Amino acid sequence: MKKSICLLALAILSITPLMSQKISGIWKGERLIVIADPSPAGDIIKEVRYAPLTKLENEVKNLKKRITELEKAPRTNNDKTNALTDSLKSVRLQLNKKSQELTAMQDSINSLTTEIANYLNKLKQAGAKTDQLNERISSLETQISNLNVELTNALSKKDENNNTLIVDMALGMSNFKGELTNHDYWSKGFVLSSQLHSYYTLYFKKMSPFALKFGIGFGSYGMNGSLTSLYDTIPSLSDADGDIYDARYNYNNIKEKVKLNYLEIPLLIHIGNSFNSYGVQAWIDGGLKIGINVGSTVEGSGLYSSEGYYPAWNVTIRDIDALGFVSNADVYANATQPNINKVVIWAVAAAGLRIPMGKVLALNMAVKCNYSLSPVATHEAVNNSFVNHSYNLLASEKTKVISLGGAVGLSINF
């Protein structure tokens, strides 16, 4: 019996893969046959056949039949009666023994059948779950396929629409670089600078991070300068009578403010992924721009006093306006505006981040630096800006502008 059960278990394990496919099967041990149907609509165990059980059932049946025959046999004499009684007793003992064996075997078969039914029921449930998983997998595969189609379309659109319109505004601080006459006495101050530009970004080829960035805009730059006090002497001058004197000047609270405004045409190289790239993107720009002066001013304020010292007579003359010796006069009363250069070439550098705000808009944040490669004013033209022809923020032919600040703007994909 144990051997048959073991063989049955091995047979079940060998047929397990079929259960997941809902295929009816017959498991055969050495003398045991189990017919099962794993389909949801069918019973788990259809039939159990065990040859020893059938044989034992037949033996019990035959013994009962033999007892019936012995009980009905005629008893003609005592010897025959005793012989029948002995035979009947022996058969009943055999029947009792066989009946006990039959009951034990049936209990074992029933227990084994229950175990098989439970096992097959679990396999059936697993098969149902497998079907659900297969359906879920099939659904996910369909979704993935649809997403792949959408991604392909998006990439195709990305290839077609790399170009971007950008509008940004920059604010920063500007100052001048150059050698000022008597620069040790001047204090230069930073002035707020601003630029407003519109760019078009044209990528060199599809999926390339390199692009040509060109546009148009307006830029405003400036610088403040101040001189608290300065005493200066111009020796050996001649007056109207030919007498030699030294001109002495005393300057107080001198202030100058320079404002430069340009129409700007930038041409830059842009390095950064196109607008359709996913997530926050870093980028850098570098190149040149042409600045066309559209209006600039130099404003000044302050007082000066002047006197003439005649060394031949050791005499100092003051407060005679006709001779040019004045007290507390306006430094810039007769000053003319310096000649600002009409065109200036600038170097431009910027680096920033592009933050998506939907399918067509993105926020740009950056730091920018502008530096004039060419001077902003002509040296010879500023000699009349200051009374003694020396002190002016634009007096140096090397005067250039540098501006550093931050920028914010919008990118528009189309």
Mean pLDDT of 76-81: 72
The 10s digit of each residue's pLDDT in 233-254 is: 888 888 888 889 998 988 888 8
pLDDT at site 130: 80
pLDDT at residue number 372: 92
Q: Residue 29, by phi and psi: left (phi above 0), alpha (psi -120 to 50) or beta?
A: beta
> What per-residue confidence (pLDDT) applies to 5?
41
pLDDT tens per residue across span 185-232? 677 778 888 999 999 988 887 667 888 999 999 999 988 888 888 888
- CA–CA gap between residue 133 and residue 16 (Å, rounded): 18
Average pLDDT over residues 304-331: 88
Q: Binning pLDDT at 50, 70 and 90, where does residue 378 land? A: confident
The pLDDT assigned to 391 comes to 45
Which domains can be identified in the chain, with CATH numbers? 2-150 (no CATH), 162-413 (2.40.160.20)
Determine the pLDDT at residue 395. Answer: 65
Q: What are phi and psi of 387, to 5 degrees?
A: -60, -45
d(Cα 45, Cα 8) in Å, to the nearest integer? Answer: 14
Q: What is the mean pLDDT of residues 310-326?
A: 88
pTM of the model as a whole = 0.58
Mean pLDDT for the stretch of residues 69-73: 78
Percent of the chain at pLDDT exceeding 70: 76
- Of the candidates 191, 195, 190, 162, the residue with the CA atom closest to the CA atom of residue 346: 195
DSSP per-residue letters across 252-266: EEEEEEEEEEEEEEE
* Contact (Cβ atoms closer than 8 angstroms) between residue 299 and residue 257: yes
Kindly list the distances between the CA atom of residue 237 and the CA atoms of 73, 244, 291, 329, in Å, as whole numbers in the listed order. 176, 5, 42, 21
For position 203, what pLDDT does the model report?
82
Question: How far, CA to CA in Å, does 67 sit from each of 73, 83, 86, 93?
Answer: 10, 13, 11, 11
The secondary structure of the chain in percent helix, strand, coil, rounded to multiples of 5, reads 30, 45, 25
Position 176 scores a pLDDT of 75
Torsions phi, psi for 25 (to 5 deg): -145, 160
Phi, psi of 92 (to 5 degrees): -65, -35
Torsion angles phi and psi, residue 118, rounded to 5 = -60, -45
pLDDT at 386 over 60: no
For residue 275, is pLDDT > 70?
no
Angle at 198 between CA 192 and CA 200, to 5 degrees: 140
pLDDT at 175 over 90: no
State the alpha helices, DSSP H only, in 161-272: none
Cα 165 to Cα 114, 139, 161, 211, distances in angstroms: 77, 41, 11, 12
Mean pLDDT, residues 316-329? 87
- pLDDT at 300 exceeding the cut of 80: yes
pLDDT per position as a tens digit, 128-168: 788 788 888 888 888 888 888 877 766 555 545 467 788 88
Mean pLDDT of 378-392: 49
pLDDT of residue 92: 81
Position 16 scores a pLDDT of 42
pLDDT-wise least confident of 10-14, 18-22, 408-412: 18-22
| Mean pLDDT computed over every residue of the chain | 77
Q: How many residues does the chain have?
A: 414
d(CA 259, CA 297): 5
pLDDT band per the 50, 70, 90 thresholds, residue 396? low
Which residue type does 275 have?
F
Q: Which residues contact 332 (CB under 8 A, 6 or more apart)?
A: 300, 301, 302, 385, 386
Evaluate whether 326 touches 374 at the Cβ level (below 8 Å): no
Highest mean pLDDT among 109-113, 182-186, 325-329: 325-329
